[in-house]
A = this chain, B = another copy of it.
Amino acid sequence: MEDWKTFLFPYQQIVDELKIKLRGIRAEFVNENRRSPIEFVTGRVKPINSIKEKMQRRYIEESRLKQDMEDIAGLRIICPFIEDIYAVVNLLRQRSDLNILEERDYVHNEKASGYRSYHIVFEYTVQSVDGPTVLLAEIQVRTLAMNFWATVEHSINYKHQGNFPEVLEKRLQNVADTTYKLDEEMSSIRNKLAEYQDDKED
C-alpha cells in the first residue's frame, strides 16, 4: 500500500461515527430509565500489522482489500446477558444506516478455540470530501463473560501464534466452556428471580 494513512482514513471515520451511534442506543435506554441490553461499546481500526498478517494468511491482495477484508473497521458491543445479544442484533437489523450482508452466530456455534460472539458484516456509507462511499465494517456482539475470555485469550496468544502447546489450548477451551456456563447460570438466576417476584405479586 502506497499510502496507508489515506486508505485507512475513512475506516477511522466509520469507527468514530458508529461508536457515537451505538453508544446512543445505550443512552436512549438509560434516558428512559430502562435496563439497557448494551453495557458498553468499543471500536478500533485494525492495526496495519494485523491487516498485513491477515492478507498473507487469507491470500488477500492489496487491490481486493476493500472488498475482501471485512473487519478493518470493527465495533464491539458488550452485553450483560446472552439474551441481550439477540435483542441487540434485532436493533441493528432495523437500522437504515447499516446494510447487513452477513451474520455469523458464534454464540451457539463456537469456534474450535472456544471463542463465542455474534458477528455482523455490513455496508456503511461514509461521506468523504469526494462524495459518499460505501465500505465494509463489522460489529461483534458478545457478553461481558465472552469478552473476558476473548480479551485474556488474545493477551495470552498474542506473541505465540503457532507455538501453542495443545495442553494449554485444551485448558483455554475448558475456560471458554465454563465461562459460557456462567453466562447461562446468570440468565437462569435472573429468570428465577423474576418468577419469584411474580409469585409474590399474585
Question: Which of B21, B24, B196 makes the CB contact (< 8 A) with A165?
Answer: B196
- Report which residue of A21, A28, A164, A190 has the largest number of chain B beta carbons within 10 angstroms of its beta carbon: A28
Instruction: Determine if B182 and A96 form an interchain contact, defined as CB atoms under 8 angstroms apart.
Output: no
Question: Which of B16, B20, B127, B129 makes the CB contact (< 8 A) with A97?
Answer: B127
Alpha-carbon gap, A159 to B91, bound state (A): 25
Question: Which of B39, B95, B151, B174 makes the CB contact (< 8 A) with A132?
Answer: B95
The answer to whether the Cβ of A155 comes within 8 Å of any Cβ in the partner chain is: yes
Distance in Å: Cβ of A98 to nearest Cβ of chain B: 9
5 residue pairs of the A-B complex, CB under 8 angstroms, read A94-B127, A143-B148, A163-B197, A165-B196, A182-B182
The answer to whether the Cβ of A108 comes within 8 Å of any Cβ in the partner chain is: no
In residues 58-80 of chain A, which contact B (Cβ within 8 Å)? 80
Instruction: Determine if A81 and B127 form an interchain contact, defined as CB atoms under 8 angstroms apart.
Output: no
Distance in Å: Cβ of A7 to nearest Cβ of chain B: 11
Distance in Å: Cβ of A84 to nearest Cβ of chain B: 10
Chain B residue at smallest Cβ distance from A188: B171
Question: Which of A29-37, A99-107, A115-123 lies at the binding interface?
Answer: A29-37
Given contacts A96-B127, A144-B148, A160-B193, contact A178 B178 (CB under 8 A): yes
Instruction: Determine if B5 and A156 form an interchain contact, defined as CB atoms under 8 angstroms apart.
Output: no
The answer to whether the Cβ of A48 comes within 8 Å of any Cβ in the partner chain is: no
In residues 143-177 of chain A, which contact B (Cβ within 8 Å)? 143-145, 147-148, 151-152, 155-156, 158, 160, 163-165, 168, 171-172, 174-175
Please, which residues of chain B bring their CB within 8 A of the CB of A80?
151-152, 155
